Amino acid sequence: MVQYNFKKITVVPSGKDFIDIILSRTQRQTPTVVHKGYAISRLRKFYMRKVKFTQQNFHEKLTAIIDEFPRLDDIHPFYGDLLHVLYNKDHYKLALGQINTARNIIGKIAKDYVKLLKYGDSLYRCKCLKVAALGRMCTVIKRIGPSLAYLEQIRQHMARLPSIDPNTRTILICGYPNVGKSSFINKITRADVDVQPYAFTTKSLFVGHTDYKYLRYQVIDTPGILDRPFEDRNIIEMCSITALAHLRAAVLFFLDISGSCGYSIAQQAALFHSIKSLFMNKPLLIVCNKIDLQPLEGLSEDDMKLVMEMKAEAIKTVIAQGGEPNDEGALLPMSALTDDGVIAVKNAACERLLNQRVEMKMKSKKINDCLNRFHVAVPKPRDTKERPPCIPQAVLEARAKASAEKEKRKLEKDLENENGGAGVYSANLRKRYILANDEWKKDIMPEILDGHNVYDFVDPDILQRLEELEREEGLRLVAEAEEEDFEMDGKELTPEEQEALAEIRKKKSLLIQEHRMKKSTAESRPIVPRKFDKDRKFTSARMGRQLSSLGLDPTAAIDRARSRSVSRRGRKRERSLAREDGDAMDIDDEQSSKKLRTRSRSRSRSKSRPPGEVTPGEGFKDSAQKLTALKIAKKSVKDRNKAARRGEADRVIPNLKPKHLFSGKRSIGKTSRR
């Protein structure tokens, strides 16, 4: 609830810090660069933006402060009064009011200066206006600096106030200083309040929580109150008075009957009577503390009388509530030191409070809405006859027997312990199987057989199905046997034909292989063309063999090839001889010598020549001249061949920009030339 959570208020910065924050934010979050060459509208816009931005930020932050601090009129009167007691309502309101005015002033400043900026005619003028605007805003904040500091202090203090819920069940503890209030609260709750022998150890309210009948109760410890006229009370006492005044709680008035607090019973009684107006409509309990030092019965006459008076007051409140005039509920002895009667006091207080709250709720108008919704139905008794639950005899006997058996039965655990303990004995899990035949308990069934899961085949009528299957199979076999007859076609090849087919297939695969080889080498490796015949396999004998294997007579072809070979053609002398050989030669005279040379080039033995000899011809005077011509030709070709050029016109550069020349670092030296 917003009311009592003052921890969420944002920090209020001091004046100087405030200015710094806002101005640095303006600098960071608005554009910073501007030149005097820009268009005037752009300059104006730039500076107007800065002014507006600053004003907006101030506005936001100040609004946040104003909103977050609680308004004393809007919160619960307990807190309102408490804050007033602690911080002085007027001062507080003044500070917040100042902040509010500052906000408005800043808004006005910004509005005025933006109006002026609209008519600024140069960068310098606009800049001056902006500086002035921001300066004035910062002066305003500087002036409210003290208010900000005050609010910060209040905030810090408020954050440390105990979180008291004014509407829930509360128990208030009051009395003179040093009577044992804090010890009591330490005993019944988890609060850890300082307990010291000097007065006013507790300087502010402390809250603890305790439980009773599944409900949570707040227990509030107050500082001690002295018997003084109202006007003279200090802030600390005023805290407790406020609490007493505004919280609807059960009040425990503590009485120190031993007098070790330094005040007599008479003084305490006087206090009681002076503040009893505050106990109106509140369940009141008089608690006599420190009975270990002075038992209740041992009090003197006067003291007893005073105590009885107080008790009477307490009883009056009880009657006002509607309870019975009961002695016990009004006056309770206890000792915080020896824990004697502490719980009784707590229970009594909680009980009284609960009853009072329930009564109030019942009397209020809202309760009727709730009451309408639930209804406890109780069956109306027909007559006064007793009808206890009926348990059949057999069940009772069985129950008795089962309980007897449970003690007699031998457990598996005992069995295990007898036979060697946990690691040694392994229980027979099949002992209690329910099978058709008990002998089968020891059977081991295979799970896998021949690559199948046995459990997939398990079936009570598997035999029957197997029989069906076998019958089916038998039928099918019979049918097949009949079919077996016509299978042969009888169009088989004869063995010679098969031979021929094999030969054909072999030849085909050879062709394919050759083609593959040729294809793979053609791109990567240049091959010697056939006419140069480096392996000397293109002979006429080979041709003859191949022709005869195809079934032809090769003699004619061989003769022709031999007679047309270059070695025969080359000799002038032998031309006349050759002419006699056959008609076929004449026709071929006109063919180019190149074509003839592509035919068989085998030289017959009788026409062998020394390797260096050059025959004159082709326009040369003699062999010597032809030799020199050949030499010159070779020389001119040599350099070109060394550069692997195909011919004169071959200027191909296979790699124009080789990577190793155009990239990479050198291991030593400079790379200033590429």
CA–CA distance, 438 with 433 (Å, rounded to integer) = 8
Q: Is 443 in the site for other proteins (CB under 8 A)?
A: yes
For other proteins, which residue of 343, 457, 509, 530 counts as binding (CB under 8 A)? 457
Answer for which of 96, 199, 547, 596 binds other proteins (CB under 8 A) is 547
Question: Is 447 a residue that touches other proteins (CB under 8 A)?
Answer: yes
Q: How far is the CB of 530 from other proteins (least distance, A)?
A: 21
Least distance CB 487 / other proteins (angstroms): 8
Strand-pair partners of 190: none
Q: Of residues 360, 454, 517, 637, which one binds other proteins by CB under 8 A?
A: 454
Q: Name the minimum Å distance from CB 467 to other proteins.
A: 10
φ/ψ of 188, rounded to 5, equals: -95, -15
Backbone angles phi, psi at 335, to 5 degrees: -135, 120
Q: Does 466 bind other proteins (CB under 8 A)?
A: yes
Q: Should residue 473 be labelled a site residue for other proteins when binding is judged by CB under 8 A?
A: yes
Q: Can residue 549 be called a binding residue for other proteins (CB under 8 A)?
A: yes
479 binds other proteins (CB under 8 A): no
Classify the C-alpha dihedral 228-229-232-235 as positive or negative.
positive
The string of DSSP codes covering 561-606 is: HHHTSHHHHH-STTHHHHHTT-HHHHHHTTS-HHHHHHS--PPPGG
| Choice between 489 and 622, CB closer to other proteins | 489
| 551 near other proteins, rule: CB under 8 A | yes
- Contact between 604 and other proteins by CB under 8 A: the answer reads no
Check binding of 475 to other proteins (CB under 8 A).
Answer: no
Displacement of CA 235 from its chain's centroid (Å): 52
* Part in contact with other proteins (CB under 8 A); list of ranges 19-27, 169-177, 335-343, 546-554: 546-554
Q: In DSSP terms, which residues pair with 258 in a beta bridge? A: none
Name which position in 16, 36, 91, 452 contacts other proteins (CB under 8 A). 452
470 binds other proteins (CB under 8 A): yes
**Which of residues 423 and 446 has its CB atom nearest to other proteins in the complex?**
446
Read off the tokens for 558. Answer: 């061989």
Tokens of 599: 């035919």
**Nearest distance from residue 489's CB to other proteins, in Å?**
5
Q: Which is nearer to other proteins, 551 or 610 (CB)?
A: 551
Whole-number Å distance between alpha carbons of 64 and 69 = 9
The span of 136-144, 168-176, 310-318, 456-464 binding other proteins (CB under 8 A) equals 456-464
489-496: Cβ within 8 A, 24+ apart: none
Residue 633 C-alpha from the chain's centroid? 85
Which of 159, 454 has the CB closer to other proteins? Answer: 454
- Quick one: which of 277, 437, 655, 667 contacts other proteins (CB under 8 A)? 437
Determine the interface stretch with other proteins among 121-129, 333-341, 544-552, 614-622 (rule: CB under 8 A): 544-552
How far is Cα 117 from Cα 108, in angstroms, rounded to an integer?
14
425: left (phi over 0), alpha (psi -120 to 50) or beta: beta
Q: Are strands 448-449 and 250-256 parallel, antiparallel or unpaired?
A: unpaired
Binder among 433, 518, 593, 663 for other proteins (CB under 8 A): 433
For the record, the structure tokens of 473 come out as 């199979």
Nearer to other proteins, 101 or 453 (CB): 453
Name which of 499 and 514 has its Cβ closer to other proteins: 499
C-alpha to C-alpha distance for 200 and 498, rounded to whole angstroms: 129
In sequence order, what DSSP letters do the residues of 80-124 get, joined into one string?
Answer: HHHHHHHH-HHHHHHHHHHHHHHHHHHHHHHHHHHHHHTT--SHH
Report if residue 389 touches other proteins, rule: CB under 8 A.
no
Q: Which of 190, 432, 491, 670 binds other proteins (CB under 8 A)?
A: 491
* Least distance between other proteins and beta carbon 458 (Å): 5
Neighbours of 595 (CB within 10 A): 9
**Given the complex with other proteins, which of 390 and 458 has the nearer CB atom?**
458
161: enclosing H helix or E strand: none
Rank residues 484 and 613 by Cβ distance to other proteins and give the closer one.
484
- The CB density around residue 186, as the number of other CB atoms within 10 Å, is 19
For residue 500, the one-letter residue type is A
Of 54-62, 404-412, 442-450, 652-660, the segment contacting other proteins by CB under 8 A is 442-450
Q: What is the DSSP letter of 335?
A: B
Residue 467 is encoded by which pair of tokens?
Answer: 């029989």
| Tokens 């603890």, residue located | 208
Query: The tokens of 357 are what?
Result: 């709250």
Confirm or reject binding of residue 429 to other proteins (CB under 8 A): no
484 near other proteins, rule: CB under 8 A: no
Q: Kindly write out the interface string for residues 503-522 of this chain, putting x where it contacts other proteins by CB under 8 A and - elsewhere.
A: xxx-xx--------------
Considering CB under 8 A, how many residues would be counted as binding other proteins? 57
The Cα 268–Cα 309 span in angstroms is 12
Residues in touch with other proteins (CB under 8 A): 433-437, 440, 443, 445-460, 462-463, 465-466, 469-470, 472-473, 476, 480, 489, 491-494, 496-497, 499-501, 503-505, 507-508, 541, 545, 547-553
